[in-house]
Amino acid sequence: MAKEQIILGIDPGTTIMGFGLIKVVGKQMQFLQLNELDLKKYSDHYLKLKLIFERTIELIDTHHPDEIAIEAPFFGKNVQSMLKLGRAQGVAMAAGLSRQIPITEYLPKKIKMAITGNGNASKEQVAKMLQSTLGLKTLPKNLDATDGLAAAVCHFYNSGRVNVGKSYSGWESFVKQNSKKIS
């Protein structure tokens, strides 16, 4: 019998956190869900972080993913935005780590390359390719959800390959791999 695995993909954000879930049976990928956590109506940054943590825990407790793939923040021009995005990513990672779920980070270009073959593809191109690959009937209005799904699909495409990104199997692993950065 083929091994079954569930992958949760997350596109962290403090305005919208996109997420998607796929099930992998053997070498076949099946779409489960994509959605988003809309945080626009909240002005308190710490409340947003709490909601990201709680929603990630809820997704984990509901779907029992075996692994989490998360889009790594990219450096933009606005340092404050980068800091907020990093916090959002960290909170989502902390939720997964608290449940002992292995996490792998992927740079946005790596995700786009895995899905479309072009590391500079637009969000729309990524969404259309996912729609075609997974047989999605419709696409969401905001493409943050498809970005989360893209992280999960990227992880599926990269599974079994060496050096897919930074992986953490728990707090100890995270600290060990990042202790030089912290000190």
pLDDT (tens place) for every residue of the chain, 183 residues total: 568 999 999 999 999 999 999 999 988 999 999 999 999 999 999 999 999 999 999 999 999 999 999 998 776 677 888 888 899 999 999 999 999 999 999 999 999 999 999 999 999 999 999 999 999 999 998 899 999 999 999 999 998 543 334 555 555 665 666 555 444
Which of 37, 35, 8 has the alpha carbon at shortest distance from 21?
8
Would residue 105 show up in a list of annotated catalytic residues for this protein?
no
168 CB neighbour count, 10 Å cutoff? 21
Q: Which superfamily is assigned to 4-178 in CATH?
A: Ribonuclease H-like superfamily/Ribonuclease H (3.30.420.10)
Exactly one of 36, 67, 71, 105 is catalytic; name it: 71
Would residue 71 show up in a list of annotated catalytic residues for this protein?
yes
Which of 66, 143, 86, 135 has the alpha carbon at shortest distance from 112?
143
Which of 32, 37, 2, 25 has the alpha carbon at shortest distance from 149?
32
Exactly one of 36, 67, 144, 147 is catalytic; name it: 144
Phi, psi of 89 (to 5 degrees): -65, -45
11 among annotated binding-site residues: yes
Predicted structure pTM score: 0.85
